[in-house]
Amino acid sequence: MDCLFCKFVSGEIPIQKVYEDCDFIIIKDIAPQAKNHFLAIPKQHFKLLSEATEEQSLMVGKMLKKISTLTKELELENGYRLVINQGDDAGQTVFHLHVHILSGQKMGWQPA
């Protein structure tokens, strides 16, 4: 399977990690949409929440909670936004589930 994020996770493509544990990594997005734009990427490959196993679903919950504790590393002090694009209408371009973490500035709301 040719998956960019699996290659980041395995180290086949070296990438600087902001955080890593046994479940997921956090990296900086290559095309930031806010002052800080990180991607939390599970180590297991799955595309959609609707396709996640029970174990993967629990891991996503743990991952979201862990993100909320990385206040200094991710500059979360004044609030932040989490986005999970799912499928075509949302504009998902990498088909390995990931959470966008946007922080460090006031944000508006632009659905389109």
Which residues belong to the active site?
A: 98
What DSSP designation does 111 have?
-
Reading the block at residue 105, the tokens are 């500035």
Taking CB under 6 A as the rule, does residue 82 contact ligand 5GP? no
Strands 36-42 vs 17-20: parallel, antiparallel or unpaired: unpaired
Where do we find the tokens 């979201």?
A: 64
Q: Are 27 and 8 in contact (CB under 8 A)?
A: yes
Interface residue with ligand 5GP among 17, 29, 47, 75 (CB under 6 A) is 29
Taking CB under 5 A as the rule, does residue 8 contact Zn ion? no
Comparison of 4 and 107: residue with beta carbon closer to ligand 5GP: 4
Taking CB under 5 A as the rule, does residue 96 contact Zn ion? yes
Q: How far is the CB of 32 from ligand 5GP (least distance, A)?
A: 8
